A = this chain, B = another copy of it.
Amino acid sequence: MRPLLEVDRLSKSYGDLPVLRDVAFHVDEGESLAILGPSGCGKSTLLRILLGLEGYDAGEVRGPVDRAGYLPQDALLFPWKTVVQNAELPLQIRGVDRKRRREEVASRLPSFGLAGFEDAYPHELSGGMRQRAGLLRAVVSGAAVLVLDEPFGALDTLTRHRLQDWLSGLMSELHRTMLFVTHDLEEAVVLADRVLVLSGRPAGVIGERGISLSREERSDRLSPLFYREKDGLLSMIRKGDER
């Protein structure tokens, strides 16, 4: 597989605040990459740079993502659009006709637990429902790359597990590339082929770990195999924290 995206010695500051320092990694096509790191280290900033929404000070980004299925950290639904209108927006921008857009969205609504809320405005949704609507929008967009910023942060355990499993199945089915930020080790193990661990601000890559579990192994969160991967990540993070 050829790298879809390559980041080389990327650095970025906001004014006097260095946020990224010499970050380097790559994402292969069809792969799912998780980014872990402490709060405020620069994960969202990194995603925004890759999407071309933010400039950077030094380094190189090869093959930035033009048109991604992007879920920002705070879901960011358009307050003047209903759930369906929000979800179909990327398709609408791509010029897909109304009927196909609506079908596409309608078919996914139940998996996201949003059936019956088609015409609700964002302020009429719960926090978790907003996040799910945002995820639906990203997934439904049909973009080749999914870029998700903490996609399940606001969900309860059971709903989260259900959606994680569903997404994991979808990804391996469609062979789409996915890049996501998470603060949940379990989530990284369930969804990622590879995990990138970042240090505290200014963020640099302090470790990388491939997850070589089968789909079945991933979904059994209590199995020793799963636990081993999780533990491996945790010790990587702890090491980074001590430095």
Contacts and interface: CB of A to CB of B under 8 A. Distances in A.
Contacts of A41: 126
A155 interface: yes
A154 B36 contact: no
A73 B122 CA distance: 14
A45 B157 CA distance: 19
Interface in A84-128: 113, 124-128
A95 B156 CA distance: 38
A113 B39 contact: yes
B156 A153 contact: no
Given A74-B127, A127-B73, A127-B74, A156 B37 contact: yes
A48 to B, nearest CB: 11
A14 interface: yes
B183 A39 contact: no
Interface string A122-140: 0011111100100000000
Interface of A: 14, 36-45, 73-74, 113, 124-129, 132, 149-150, 153-160, 183-185, 234, 237-238, 241
